[in-house]
Chain A
Amino acid sequence: MDTPNTKSEVESVGTGSRATRILGVATIMGLALAAYMALVSSPQDENMGDVVRILYIHVPIVTMAYVGCGLTSLGSVMYLWKKSQWWDITAAASAEVAMVFTALTLVIGMIWGRPTWGVWWVWDARLTSTAMLLLLLLGYLAVRRLQADAATRSKRSAIVGLLLFPNVIIVNRSVTWWRSIHQGTTILNTLKPKIHDQMAVTLVVAMVVVAMLFVWLVIHRWRLTWIETQLDAHELDLAIAERRAEATGPAETAP
């Protein structure tokens, strides 16, 4: 991929490539297939009827959200260890996509839950933990957006990112432990279908397709950040040249 050197060049360079176009098309086709399987061809559950179909979208999305979060932590560790910008950008891109997936999980849960069970929200362990995941990710992304030079921002984000997954685990454990005390059948506890063959296949297909979607999104986000970074580096070279030219004339000032 050519790195652009001016703003106008950036506008004409996209983040697409042959590989991502193939992946993108495959993903769309996969989504169509998964939707068909989930909504039409897979059977109803014995106890829950059609309600079980929410699992086909809920489980893959929330799984990828946690995977994305783990990837962010991994990227943060690798950045701190190897000082590799590649990992830094991966951590950031992964966190953004994971955040969207997490928000989506919660919204889908609420939209489905209201007509089905009559409530917008239950303080069930998994739902609560997912809400906490969203907040932890938002905190990480807030640090990513700080006004500071790139190296500072990367380092601070990496430290927060490194703690992200451990925090998620600790919060998850505490919330689950807490909610397990107050037994009683919460609504989502009844969401335990017996997975027959065709349901299992559908679920696997859904998982694979959503994973492809996740990867596609992360790649594009990654490349976008990469282009921005390259542009910054180029502007820095220009700025250094301008700065030195000050010696012969008036220009910007340093603190």
Chain B
Amino acid sequence: MTQPSERNSYAAELPSAAAPADTAAFARPSARRLLTLAGIGMILAGMIFGDIFAVFVLHQNAARVGTSLAAAAQAASAGDAAAVGAHFKDTGTFLENRGTKVDTHVHLIAFGYLALMLALAQPWVGLAEVVRRRLAWLLVCGAVLLPVGVFLIHYVGLAYSPLEAIGWASIFADLGGLMVLAATVGYLAGIAQHFRARQPLLPDQLLRDRSAPARWLLTGGLLLILAGFVHGAYYAGVDLYRHEAADYTILAQMSSAAAAQNQAQINQSLAEYGQLQGDKAVKIAAHAHIIEFGLLAMLLAFFQPYVQLCEAWKRRWAAVLLCGSLLLPVCVLMEMKFGLVAGGIADLGGLLVILALLAMWIGILRYTGSIDAMPSGAPSGVPSGVRR
């Protein structure tokens, strides 16, 4: 718990925090607070999960996929059709393992973004606070249920499932998706209601903030997104169809070589296939990450009034987040050329983003603590930690 003396020094250090955000809109049970804290929490969890996945699962899994594909090609060369089927079954299992973990990572982060956006959009939602709060809980529960369900698909499989192709984990994941969809539809109805009723928009501190970290994050984030779009367009124009054609051509060559028992050609095709998959993976990962980080930076720009840290540290964390957001995708792109060195620097970029996000989340938690510590008779809009 913060001591009075600490509060004094904190207030003296934090002139910028003396401009409080809309505390009523961020009161203890409000939909905005729930969506903000849960949203950043989900993004953090998704990023940490992604880092763990990248370090401990991704490359090992890719190696297993390559090994089982090589074994299938060798079995085809030896004329053993049954073994080919068995090896491809293994490949399918490894790919499912990888795919479900990527989906867990992606969905957790995407739902975090959605929660943050809906937190920002609360002034436009023409529904009673109690309804908005219930929708927020529905969204958060669905947003956690879906990634957890997807993660479990590989482990639960079809055990005890009433359906032929879909297991219980998939069913719960789909239920989670439906909950998120229902909550989003509810908020859309609320936004439509707001515009239909022509209600005046209440002043919102979050949307008025013009501080340096907010401006950096907003412009920097949009530039990152634009860079990601340009890179995506370049990839679609130059690499996408070439990659798709090469995927088929290499597999066809591998299959023909196996039929002709041409070991040298099989090995060459396997090597080319590995290179192709690596090239595809790094380009898509760079495109996706730079846009996601750009969107994250833009979203965080709006929450700066809630980050109860001194202005200098808010600037530092904004700069760290933008640096990490650029470093990770650029180094991921360089992985094919510079290997593990670039991969290591990319991981460092991811770590910088996680640290900056964590710092901002802690800043927001401090803000909520200040509001909650405020005596009931205190003037509205001034957290206790800030008033002193």
* Physical interaction between A and B: no
